[in-house]
Amino acid sequence: MSDSDSFIEEVTEEVRRDRLFGYMRRYGWIAVLAILLLVGGAAWNEWQKAQARDAAQALGDRIIAALALEDRNARAQALGEITVPNPSAQAVLDLLAASETATESPQDAARRLLAMAEREGTDPVYRQIATLKAVALPESGLDVATRRTLMDGLTRSGGLVRLLAEEQLGLIDLETGDKTAALERMMQIAADAEATAGLRRRVTQVIVALGGKPPETARIDQVGATASE
């Protein structure tokens, strides 16, 4: 019985082996194809990463070269001639170019910033920065109503953007002669828990100049800043 059982097991094992080889001959190409796809996909992914790194480095080199030029207009022109791959990179270039032209052509800089803020695909954070910079530019050519509307829109944002917009609205209140509204707005900013030390120092100076008494938190920041200096 043991010899018979052993013989049956050997035959069974041989049949299994034959079936396995048959499956391999029939479907082995699928396994080979899967391996090739995995290896090829990994190689393609690494190639794409390398291409992206090279493109980013080349873009950075062009920006550095443009900013290294001595003349402001030349820097702005060089920045404007750079081709970028996406809206975020274009927004950074527009911010840099506007900074170069802000001193000599503030109205052109403001128009460029607002055009960038309205451009489809621009990241919200760049929209907010561009709008703030355009309104804050001296002699931007933007009328009071336009500046108020732009800043009112940003006050509905969160965090520091909201407070910076409130600061600009306070300065607009001063510009239009409404000192009471300006003082009230600056007091609210100084007492806000999200205000940075630098922002508190700025609004505290305005509060003092208007004859107001800064909140306790703002006075502590002011004393700390004076001591550190």
DSSP 140-197: ----HHHHHHHHHHHTTS-HHHHHHHHHHHHHHHHHTT-HHHHHHHHHHHHH-TT--H
What DSSP state is assigned to residue 84? -
Q: How far does Cα 211 stand from its chain's mean position? A: 39
pLDDT tier at 223 (50, 70, 90 boundaries)?
Answer: very low
C-alpha 102/C-alpha 122 separation (Å) is 21
What DSSP state is assigned to residue 105? -
Which residue pairs, CB below 8 angstroms and at least 24 apart, start in 103-110?
103/72, 104/72, 104/73, 106/137, 106/138, 106/139, 106/140, 106/141, 107/139, 107/140, 107/141, 109/134, 109/137, 109/140, 110/134, 110/137, 110/140, 110/141, 110/142
> What mean pLDDT comes out for the span 209-213?
90
Question: 79 near 68, Cβ under 8 Å?
Answer: no
Residue 90 has pLDDT above 60, yes or no: yes
Residue 208 has pLDDT above 80, yes or no: yes
What DSSP state is assigned to residue 70? S
Residue 227 has pLDDT above 70, yes or no: no
C-alpha 173/C-alpha 162 separation (Å) is 16
Q: How far is CA 142 from CA 9, 138, 172, 184, in A?
A: 94, 10, 12, 24
pLDDT of residue 76: 83
User: Element (H or E) spanning 50, and its range?
Assistant: helix 2-67
> What mean pLDDT comes out for the span 98-124?
89
Question: 204 near 222, Cβ under 8 Å?
Answer: yes
Nearest C-alpha neighbor of 160 from the set 118, 132, 122: 132
pLDDT of residue 46: 81
Residue 217 has pLDDT above 60, yes or no: no
C-alpha 40/C-alpha 33 separation (Å) is 10
19-28, 46-55, 76-85: lowest mean pLDDT where?
19-28
Residue 2 has pLDDT above 60, yes or no: no
The per-residue pLDDT for range 160-197, each reduced to its tens digit, is 889 999 999 999 999 999 999 999 999 999 999 889 99
pLDDT of residue 1: 46
